[in-house]
Structure 1
């Protein structure tokens, strides 16, 4: 998963469009650019200290991801908040991809990556236990990294790419409706990791499927 940075771009080079993509995406998932907001290319170029060309390239990618829209003679806007039906379709896709990713990860993960995943989840649990109620904004990127690590461990790059697009929509929704981390979600993460580390594909697939289903049940409270 590409690291997201929020500071102005320090250098120029062939990766400017990638850097601009990360910076704009950060503003989307932190709601600095909320659903429906107008996006001004000139303003972003001044803010990031770069030309309009990489900004337009980045916005084109975000449009392909479904995170921004473009209207002729009007320009770019952040995609409006998804409907319940759209999120239900998103979860249907997650139920197809993420249990499969967990199954593959359990079969393929290296000992080093398994240990790293265990430590990562332990750190997440500790961060949550330090506060009685942890705002999802403090947890979102770690949650995304958790799912992305499992996707990468599956060895299937198409799954990695597809899930990275879906997770951005999830974060925006949860931040917009002030969702909270729950102890149940943490326990579900631990069950998934335990199955992957034990190299039990059946249990890993089952644990991930249960997690996605419970996540959908929690998400529906926002509608």
Structure 2
């Protein structure tokens, strides 16, 4: 089933990216069993690349491997675990932004502006495209973190954000909450562009608090 001339690593990467995307956008639901034989047929590759892809996803905690049961999509976090995750996000994201405000280049800022403009366009539509908004929302925040130029901070942030993206997808996001999120996003970009550390920390802290309240069920869901 392996394509001629295609390295096995390439097939593993393709299977990994496809399965990861399906988990993040909800096509593979939390706790869903992942049968290697079925996935192999769907993806058109042999069992080995699928198994290797699932092992990579297991290391990212997006997939769970249980004895005698095999692979399954990691269940949604409960409220307590979600709160702990959000606390960790606060520490990592604010720490990264503390460096980003000093190191961000005009190229970094242009990339953030482009994503923010796309988010504005989605929010302006009469029917909110939740999946697209969540994907771009995640991209926006990662682009504000990457100028810190610290691979360990960025890696730690990446480990958390995939689970936040899944939580956002399953908890929904009313249009009014998305509009408020955009106000907060613009405040973050304005402070970052101005090099105003205090304003950036304040804007990012308020945004994290708002998102935490929504996802933990302490206010309107996001």
Same fold (TM over 0.5): yes
Match of 1:54 among 21, 33, 49: 49
- State the partner residue of 1:215: 211
* Pair 1:45–1:126, CA change in 2 (3 A): same
User: 2:211 is paired with a residue of what secondary structure?
Assistant: helix
**Of the candidates 151, 158, 163, which is equivalent to residue 152 of structure 2?**
158
Alpha-carbon RMSD: 1.9
Partner in structure 1 of residue 137 of structure 2: 143
> In structure 2, the residue corresponding to 1:82 is in which secondary structure?
coil
1:24 matched to 2:37? The reply is no
Residues 70, 142 of structure 1: alpha-carbon distance in 2 compared, 3 angstrom cutoff? same
- The alpha-carbon deviation at position 69 of structure 1 amounts to 1.0
Whole-angstrom distance in 2 between the partners of 1:73 and 1:216: 36
Q: Please tell me whether the aligned partners of residues 35 and 78 of structure 1 are also in contact (alpha carbons under 8 angstroms).
A: yes
Q: Secondary structure at the match of 1:20?
A: helix
Match of 1:201 among 182, 197, 204: 197
The answer to whether structure 1 residue 186 and structure 2 residue 193 are counterparts is no
1:34-49 alignment to 2 at 5 Å? Answer: 34-49=29-44
How far 1:10 sits from its partner (Å)? 10
Deviations 1:149-180 (A, max 9, x none): 11211111112222222221122222223333
Give the superposition deviation at 1:140. Answer: 1.3
Separation in 1 of the partners of 2:5 and 2:129?
Answer: 34
Task: Give 5+ residue unaligned stretches, structure 1.
Answer: 1-8
Indicate which of 60, 70, 74 corresponds to 2:69: 74
Distance 1:33 1:68 in 2: 11
Indicate conservation of the 8 Å contact 1:35/1:80, yes or no: yes
The alignment covers a number of residue pairs equal to: 213
Asked if the contact 1:98–1:209 (Cα under 8 Å) also holds between the matched residues in 2, the reply is no
Partner of 2:84: 89
SS of the residue corresponding to residue 216 of structure 2 reads helix
Q: d(CA) in 2 for partners of 1:169 and 1:159?
A: 17
* CA distance in structure 2 between the partners assigned to 1:177 and 1:125 by the alignment: 21
Deviations 1:106-152 (CA, angstroms, capped at 9, x unpaired): 11011122123223212211221123x41421211101111111121
Return the alpha-carbon distance in structure 2 between the equivalents of residues 211 and 217 of structure 1: 10
Q: TM-score, normalized by length of structure 1? A: 0.88
Partner of 2:31: helix, strand, or coil?
coil
8 Å contact kept, 1:185–1:211: yes
Unaligned runs of 5+ in 2: none
Asked whether 1:122 is paired with 2:128, we answer no
